[in-house]
Structure 1
């Protein structure tokens, strides 16, 4: 894979200028994926897709890409699914927010020390409430963070985090740098190839994210960085269309019924093209990258 293209400097909420090349592969073959109203009044979301690698991204980036907290039940289900990881001593949850995943995961990893990293003050509240043992403010790519945490962790998790950072590839490399040799990286992200993306179009919630990463791109990047992918699964978070963009009044009742059906069918949906999320677990066999 080519080196990650340079990304313009942006504020904490990541608005910035329009770019003429793909932030993943650097290709200038951009095409419109969608244009839609934003979640905030007067805002708009412009989503472009790369014709070379299919990476989709907000162009220009907007504050609409800020992450939303996931329901607590999802954290527990995810932690249960990861229970096969062999007794990690230390775990960094990147983009941890209020620390609800570490809190849920302690049931399945009682001997693991969980730390949290987040660009907002939520991580400091998570520390104060005992959900994480150490709180780190910023991104992994924030100057000084990677050096401070280098080779400290057996597991690094990124749940719906890469979709909300200026440079996902740089964030991935930084994640590997804070892992110990043989450590595991867990990445969960919305699947841009989900049938829900086409069915709901601009009302599909992940279409408001800064980035949509095709699974094949992530797997190729991890392999290029020397990782062995140990698990790839598709799952379904029953958020569709309950958390879609604001709805006209005539649509609310039928879509509420559809959301209830979606929750009921979620165990089956994950085996179909409607599955809206993928999860990848990768192992780094050697020394973390410099």
Structure 2
């Protein structure tokens, strides 16, 4: 059983290394136990996101409000082994209910490792459901399906599940020097900051999927609508109105980082260098977008490998003090 669990965590580590280079680099600054827990949560989120992007027969996806019938009662007065078994069942039922069934061996391993992490660190199940409900918003055929967001408030409601919930899942793993509830606002904000950075970097990729994760009213304030976005995408060139809109949204994104970063001091001292590294490198994606003159349709903004190593090395030096 231990060997199976180790194999499950190893599979999650490989997924994190392949798809989350910045996050993976930051996790090298964590203790082995915390590191593999973060890999498991990352791999679970990545798996669900990939399933959503390639959902089969999306019209058959059920209304997420009905999912409560499949959610087991609060888990009390059960042994750790029983708790783990029930959490696994919850995760699988939630995925299957959303037509996000886990069928192959790797997905089975991800759910196994995620369930173990949720149990081991007593992660509130509500954060998992909030994340899954947000992911269903990306699936055509669900009652909550959305591909456009009129305001930043609307987008932040989506990010509450897609990003803030991830930050809240991580808090028990990372540990805090204050009651967890006091650290939650900053953790949620950091998740949102990362997510909005993704949206700004991946405008072209999202358009190709018929999704726009930039608030309509914020774009329109600069004379940009969806047709304008698509025209820029077609030409592979960001023009002046869109450049100004992106500069404005980057400023909003940096403000969320400013709200979030002070919360790193509320985390356990040994994990602060890792989270600081992740926040520093992800925020630098915004710098790269600016350095490329906001040409998000011509190039994908990334932080160079040598820079990522330099920031991580600094974090390692701090963590060893």
- The normalised TM-score by structure 2 is 0.28
Higher helix share: 2
Structure showing greater radius of gyration is 2
Q: Which has the higher strand share?
A: 1
Pick 1 or 2: higher relative contact order, CA cutoff 8 A, min separation 6: 2
- TM-score of the pair, normalised by structure 1: 0.30
